[in-house]
Amino acid sequence: MLGRKVEGARPVSLVEVRRILEQRSGEPDFGYEQQTSLDYTRKFAKLTPEDAAKLEKELAGEVSALKAEAIVKLVDILPTHSSTIIAICAKERITLSAPQTQKCLEIIAKFRERMVEPPPVPQTPVPDAPAAEAAPVEGAKKEEGAKKESKSK
pLDDT tens, position by position, 28-69:
888 899 999 999 999 999 899 999 999 999 999 999 999 999
What's the distance, Cα to Cα, between the start and end of the chain in Å? 61
Q: Is the pLDDT of residue 137 over 60?
A: no
Which residues lie closer than 8 Å to 51 by C-beta, 6 or more apart? 111, 114
Contact 74, 108 (CB under 8 A): yes
Q: Tell me if 46 is assigned to some domain.
A: yes
Q: Tell me if 148 is assigned to some domain.
A: no
Q: Tell me if 138 is assigned to some domain.
A: no
CATH code (residue 73) = 1.20.1250.40
- Which stretches of the chain are assigned E, i.e. beta strand? none
Contact 14, 44 (CB under 8 A): yes
DSSP state of 130: P
Q: Tell me if 96 is assigned to some domain.
A: yes
In angstroms, rounded to a whole number, what is the distance separating the alpha carbons of residues 19 and 49? Answer: 8
* Domain containing residue 86: 14-112
Q: Tell me if 120 is assigned to some domain.
A: no
Q: Tell me if 7 is assigned to some domain.
A: no
Number of domains in the chain: 1
Q: Tell me if 82 is assigned to some domain.
A: yes
Question: With a threshold of 0.85, does the pTM exceed it?
Answer: no
Q: Tell me if 5 is assigned to some domain.
A: no
